[in-house]
A and B are shown apart, each in its own frame.
Chain A
């Protein structure tokens, strides 16, 4: 069983659990098990086409799975997965009040 750490704002969808232990051989399997167990989480993490939302990053221990084998990355029982969003922005981009 791998451990998945749940960010604070998503705990309302996981019966307030801050971490969940789930079985799965790959990141994709563990994420599928997670959203099966907590269906309301699904729309937070995946879009209508079933793709992971662009701002969602998954870390295996301290490594971004994008730099491993993405969602085919193997997961061992001793591993910890974290869900970490990408956040950026800026005052440019729409000509509204910017320089």
Chain B
């Protein structure tokens, strides 16, 4: 289960809406509690905007620059937090894990997809891709007021 706090969620939605009609991306930092009554719980307390580094049209593509991800990881280490996952938006498109998402994913993180329709946040889902990049399991996602 991944739970996103109010501050982080507000930053994620604001980033997704401001970047519309392009895709946005960012890193989610927080703490993981293993083996609670709810299983492993990932608590996201900080969302970092990352630049969409995709070289072509960004309406339906995003790319995270590895250096930016390394910087987010470094920031997490310094703050005593974990880099828990990556978020990105799907402008005028549902929050599913696309073939492109799967083929460019990594199994170590939670991938939160925010659907933005007509410039406003619509819904979101979280996914856990496998190492072979052939399937992604849906993960329970809890955000404020959901």
Chain A residues proximal to chain B, CB less than 8 Å: 5, 7-10, 18, 43-44, 47, 53-55, 57, 59, 62, 64, 82, 84-94, 96-99
Contacts and interface: CB of A to CB of B under 8 A. Distances in A.
Contacts of B103: 89, 93
B88 interface: yes
Given A18-B77, A98-B60, A99-B92, A87 B106 contact: yes
A98 B98 contact: yes
B108 A7 contact: yes
A16 B32 CA distance: 13
A93 B100 contact: yes
Given A87-B64, A88-B63, 7 more contacts: A85-B66, A89-B105, A90-B23, A91-B100, A93-B98, A96-B96, A98-B98
Contacts of B135: none
Contacts of B32: 8
Interface in B9-34: 23, 25, 32
Interface residues of B, number: 44
B134 to A, nearest CB: 12
A55 B99 contact: no
Interface string B38-64: 000000000000000010000111111
B84 A91 contact: no
B131 A53 contact: yes
A7 B98 contact: no
A59 B70 contact: yes
B48 to A, nearest CB: 13
B83 A8 contact: yes
30 contacts: A8-B32, A8-B76, A9-B83, A10-B108, A54-B133, A55-B104, A59-B66, A62-B70, A64-B66, A84-B70, A84-B73, A85-B69, A85-B108, A87-B64, A87-B104, A88-B62, A88-B104, A89-B98, A89-B101, A89-B102, A89-B104, A90-B60, A91-B23, A91-B90, A91-B100, A91-B101, A92-B100, A93-B103, A99-B60, A99-B92
Contacts of A84: 66-67, 69-70, 73
